[in-house]
Every structure is written in C-alpha cells, then in structure tokens.
Amino acid sequence: MQRNEIPKIKPYFYDITLRDGNQSLKKPWNLDEKLIIFDKIQELNIPAVEIGFPASSQMDFDSCVELAKKAGEKTKVSVLARAHHGDIERALAAIKDAKNSRLHTFITLSPFHMEYVLNKKPQDVAQIAIDAVDFAKKNIKNPNCDIEFSVEHFGDCEENIDFVIEVLKEIVNKGATTINLPNTVERYRPYRYISLMKKVKENLPSNVIISVHNHNDLGMATATTVESYFSGAIQLECCLNGLGERAGNTDFAQVATILNNNCVDTGINLEKIYETTLLISQMSRVKIYEKAPLVGPEALAHRSGIHQDGAIKTKDMDFGAYRPIKPSIIGRYDDEKIGFTSQSGKTAIYDIIKALKYPITIQESIYLTPIAKEMAESKGELTGEEILELYFNKICNIKGVFELISFKPIEKGVYDLFFNYKGERKEVIGTGNGPIDACLNGLSKLGFDKIKLSYYKQYSLDGDEKGSGASAMSAVSMLDNKNNEIIGRAIDSSTALANVKAIFNALNQVY
C-alpha cells in the first residue's frame, strides 16, 4: 500500500454494541453488564460509544444515565432518539451529566419506507427530520454535546438521492454535525452504496463528518465500511463481534485489523481485540463461529500439507504464508493450529511431535506420514495423542527379525544379552564401556555387525503425559555398511534398557 493512498484524516470509530448490538439480543443487557462492556470498549480506545436508546425501556434509560455519568471527557457517549420530541427529551435527560455527548436522531428517507412503513409523503418526513434536529439543537444545554442525524435505509435512496441531499443540507443548517448513512438492510454491491455516500459528501459542507453504518445481510458490511473510509467517510459505526439485527452490523475487529493491515493509524488498542471478542461472546451468548475471520477457533488452523508447510516455515515471521496477520497483533497466541488429516503431510507430523516435546527427524516423519494418512482417511483428523501413539508404536517399537528378551548386568561392564533372531533364541555375553558398547560387542560376536554407532542421545521424558511410566528416551544413530544413517529410538524407565531397545529398533530397520 502506497502511503499516499491513505486518507489524511484518521478513522473515527463509533461503537454501537450497547445500542444496535444490544437491541438484537435475546436478553438485552442490564446496567451491570453494560458497565463491563463499556469498560472494555474504553480499553480498546474507541473514542465514541452509542450507549443505548433511552426511550426503549426504563432499564435502558437508567443504564444510559449511569454510563453518561461515568464516561470521561475522552469518550463521547451518544444516545439514540427517534425524530420526535418525546424521544429527544428522554435522550437528552439521559445524557445530561455527560462531559462529552451526542444526541443521535434518525428517520428514514427511503421512498419505499416513507410510503409503506411511515405512510407519509416525502415532504412531510423531511419536515419531521428537520424539525427534530432543530428541536434537539434548541434543547441541548451542554456545549460539548453535538448532533448526529441518520438517514435510515440510506442504501435504498438511489432513486431520490437529490431529495435526500437537499434534506440533509437543511439538517446540517439546523445543527447536525455528523451525517450517518446507514445501509440498514444490505441489498446491493458495496460500489452502489459508496457512490451514494460520495455524492452526499461532495454536496455537504466539508466540515460535516460523514459516517457509515453498514448492516451485514449479504456479508459485505466489512468491505463496504473499509472501502467507504478510503472513499471519504470518517466515522465508522461498528459493533463488537458484528452483533446487531438479523445478520448483524459491521464487525469492529475486522475493520480495525484491515485498516491496520493497510497502514492506517487506527488509534485502537488492537491487542485487546481477542479478549474482548471472547467476553462479548460470553455476555451476548452468541457463539463465535468456527471459521470467523481473525477470531474464530479455526481461523488459525491448517490442514492441507502445502498450507502446513508454508505456515510452519513462516511461523515466527510478521508476514505469514497462510495468515493475514500475526495473531498476537489482536492479542491471540501466535500458534497456528496444525491438524493432521488425510490431506496433511510430513511437516505436520514433525511439528505435532515436536510441539508435544518429543524428538523426531524429518526422515522419521516421512516414514510416519503414509501410515497416519491412511488412519485419517477413515477416522478424520487425528489428535495429537493419536499421532504420538503412532510415533511410539512405529518409531520407538519397530517390529522385525530381532526381538529383545533381556539385557542384564553380570558385573561392571559385562552384560548378558538374550534375544530372538528370526524366531531363534540367541544369548551372548557382551563387554564394553557402558551398555551400548557391551550390547554392540555382544551382537558383533554373533556376526551382527552391519551397523556402527555414530552418535547417541538421551532424553528425559519426565512428566510424560501418556502415562506409560517411561522416564527416558534413547536415540542411537547408526551407520550401516553403505553409510546410510539409521535412527533407533526407545523409551524405558531404565536408561540401560532404553539404550539397548533403541539399538534393536535400529537393527530391525537394517536386517
């Protein structure tokens, strides 16, 4: 994004969770609940908050009174009122103690709604709107209280946009400083709404703040709001978790994150987004759907091998191969979920085992991948536990021609090795500098000398969640007579036995 494409004026976020969001809930919030959410909105640093609709209920009026008292100068608290005197008086009474406030009044100017819902002539509706703003202006006592006027169903005003503009000019003359243009029901493509919005902006004085308020009936509210900002709108009305009537309002988290991704200084404490989302979901009893952008439980999940490979390779980078942001920007853990299905690949196995704190090489994960894929074909996604079990069974316990029966010390540096080879019992005394040396020495005496130790590693597995009682893992790296590297792993509570089992696992890969 070129810097010169970024609008000079910062976006002004206007939160509508406590009003538009609240009115759509099965159980609207009481004062205590609104207080918790109001605090969260302030933590996000959203400068303007519509705290309620005082004429809608006594509970909402009382909540607005308390929130208005509580809010400091930094936060503009706004209340909604229909375009009639009774509502406006009630609204102004609710915010009388606020330091920085707004009266927000509205009426539809859409031809369809004026005719079929209000049953009024356009000129009569225009007069109601102008009169409401005039009445509000004359009754506002607080110099820090301004007026917002909304054209309900603005998105349906294509055919009478010139009329709407003329009414808005009058409304601005009467004292409204913010003109909000709701796409009350989303019906058409964003371009059509934005063209109308631009026309209004061009025809009103430049000091009028143009606001957008997009409902999400067709799923494009975020796009429309973001593009509206790049086309001249300043105030962006958004709702936490995209709550709101029907399919909701514009989702705040999405808009703020998208603008941030496009080099816009949002002024928002983005790192508070994720925790706020969880809180709002809990308080609204509206679940976050699995695939919700940015915040959904599955929004950071990768299941195809190609995506997993890219995701893992770019894990710690700011720019991820298969994610739009670094999740910690919105306060989410940076862990991208790697889920293993029949579509997944070796990198997933490697990453899952590593994440469970077990050692694995990429060769070992290549070996495990087809086995895991086959299992996942019938079962679906494998859990970490299941992959770990596969790792234990196929890597740490390799079945083959060798079968260890016992390995017992006789005296220092001398061991009795007892095993089956192709079903035939074998016993030998091995000597050496420790169990590995002694075991290899015994094997070599019997002619099994195809492998040579190249290195050896011991891992402590204390706290092993599988409850296997295992406490140590040995890994031996051997070279066969063609210099191929073979890794044998084994787990046992006795370190000596873990070592010998690891050698037998390596032998079973060679013979």
In 3D, which of 324, 323, 212, 307 has the Cα closest to residue 260?
324
Angstrom distances, CA of residue 79 to CA of 23, 281, 450: 13, 23, 84
Q: Which helix (H) or strand (E) holds 42?
A: helix 31-43
Cβ-proximal residue to Zn ion, closest one: 20
Q: In 3-state terms, the chain is what percent helix, strand and coil (to 5)?
A: 45, 20, 35
Tell me which residues in 178-197 interact with ligand KIV (CB under 6 A): 180, 182, 184
Nearest to ligand KIV of 150, 235 (CB atom): 150
Ramachandran region, residue 236 (left: φ > 0; alpha: ψ -120 to 50; beta: rest): beta
In the complex, what is the shortest distance from the CB of residue 40 to ligand KIV, in angstroms, rounded to a whole number? 21
- HSE toward the beta carbon, residue 174, CA cutoff 13 A: 26
Tell me which residues in 87-146 interact with ligand KIV (CB under 6 A): 106
- In the DSSP assignment, the letter for residue 56 is G
What is the spatial distance between Cα 178 and Cα 166, in angstroms, rounded to a whole number? 16
Residue 248, interface with ligand KIV (CB under 6 A)?
no
Measure the N-to-C terminal CA separation of the chain; round to a whole number of Å.
60
Total binding residues toward ligand KIV, as defined by CB under 6 A: 9
What does the CA dihedral 284, 286, 288, 290 come to, rounded to 10 degrees? 160
Nearest to ligand KIV of 84, 426 (CB atom): 84
Q: Which helix (H) or strand (E) holds 507?
A: helix 495-510
Q: Which does 50 bind (CB under 5 to 8 A by kind): ligand KIV, Zn ion, none?
A: none
In the complex, what is the shortest distance from the CB of residue 215 to Zn ion, in angstroms, rounded to a whole number? 6
Residue 225, interface with ligand KIV (CB under 6 A)?
no
**Binding region for ligand KIV (CB under 6 A) out of 7-15, 31-39, 176-184, 299-307:** 176-184
In the complex, what is the shortest distance from the CB of residue 155 to Zn ion, in angstroms, rounded to a whole number? 11
Residue 274, interface with ligand KIV (CB under 6 A)?
no
Residue 407, interface with ligand KIV (CB under 6 A)?
no
Residue 156, interface with ligand KIV (CB under 6 A)?
no
Residue 15, interface with Zn ion (CB under 5 A)?
no
> Which residues does 191 contact at the CB level (< 8 Å), separation at least 6?
none
Residue 50, interface with ligand KIV (CB under 6 A)?
no
- x/- mask, ligand KIV, residues 4-23, rule CB under 6 A, reads ----------------x---
Q: Which of 13, 19, 20, 68 binds Zn ion (CB under 5 A)?
A: 20
- HSE toward the beta carbon, residue 388, CA cutoff 13 A: 17
In the complex, what is the shortest distance from the CB of residue 186 to Zn ion, in angstroms, rounded to a whole number? 11
What is the spatial distance between Cα 261 and Cα 84, in angstroms, rounded to a whole number? 42
Cβ-proximal residue to ligand KIV, closest one: 182
Residue 216, interface with ligand KIV (CB under 6 A)?
no
Q: Which does 336 bind (CB under 5 to 8 A by kind): Zn ion, ligand KIV, none?
A: none
**Where along the sequence are the contacts to Zn ion (CB under 5 A)?**
20
**Where along the sequence are the contacts to ligand KIV (CB under 6 A)?**
20, 106, 150, 152, 180, 182, 184, 213, 215
